[in-house]
Amino acid sequence: MEELNYLLYLLVLGLTTLAMAAYLVFFISQNKTVRKAARLILVASGVAQSLYILSRYILTGHTPITSQHETVIFFAWATTWAYLSFRWRYTVKNFGTFVSFFLFCLVFISYFSSREITVLVPALQSAWLPLHAGVSLVAYGFLSLAFCGGLMYLLLERELKAKKFGYFFARLPSLDALDQLNSHCITAGFVFLTLGIVTGSFWARQAWGTYWHWDPKETWSLITWFIYLVQIHQRFTVGWRGKRAAIMTVVGFLSVLFTLWGVTYFLGGVHSYAG
């Protein structure tokens, strides 16, 4: 089973890299046949990720979401299927190129993370593990889409402001389409992020006897939640859109990354076992 698990991981790495390369070729050539092939490869990568997570679950006997390697792969899985579900309903020009590059970065990071299977500490031996951690990473998947859209917005806005209608102007969707993408993905991500915090508080009550004790990761999760809350509130009350919203999306996602990994390395806390 371990050999099959490793082969599935190599398949994930290969298909994700190939999808990114195909999307990059499409971005340059704008060949629709290449775009279709890239999308099919990304779907195959998503299936391979699902099979890899399932095989690791069989190996470990618990939801594989407790080490850095497992977290990165689950993050990639969540982002892949969040994108594919989004693509099923909406069409955003060349969005797949940016998302596939982000996915490649995640899988590349996982390659240098230890694949060693560790025994769960008592605090993690709970039914809340897949619910809390899984929902949180699904939230991060949608927020990563918003981040990619925010970068696209800033690249296009820069060209338009400079009145240089060059490479990105010809290949990126309109600013309005990117702003709508930002809104949809942040709204979905915020809902899951809220559920992640709520389930985490119930888990904390079960494990430590209190719903909240201001652990560094809990604190940064709340900070991240407030960043997105402010953005959603401002959008729907005073029409906060455009460049300001795109910048806040990038800032919010940097907070997501710090919550996920930075807190563990720099601040520690009771969540450090999941680093």
> In the chain, which stretches have pLDDT less than 70?
122-124, 165-166, 207-208, 263-275
pLDDT at 264: 64
* Best CA proximity match to 199, nearest among 101, 131, 245: 131
pLDDT at 86: 86
pLDDT at 273: 44
What is the widest separation between alpha-carbon atoms in the chain? Answer: 59
pLDDT at 259: 86
Q: Per residue in 110-131, pLDDT tens? A: 999 888 887 777 666 778 788 8
Task: Name the pTM for this structure.
Answer: 0.90
pLDDT at 267: 54
pLDDT at 275: 42
Question: Could you give the CA distance from residue 2 to residue 59 in angstroms, rounded to a whole number?
Answer: 7
pLDDT at 266: 52
Q: Do 229 and 190 touch, CB atoms closer than 8 A?
A: yes
pLDDT at 274: 47
Residues 6+ apart with CB under 8 A from 66: 118, 120, 124, 129, 133, 273, 274
Number of Cβ within a 10 Å radius of residue 94: 18
Q: Do 82 and 193 touch, CB atoms closer than 8 A?
A: no
pLDDT at 200: 87
- Token code pair at residue 55: 């095989």
Task: Name the H helices within the chain.
Answer: 2-29, 32-60, 68-89, 95-111, 128-161, 167-171, 175-208, 216-238, 242-257, 263-266
pLDDT at 271: 54
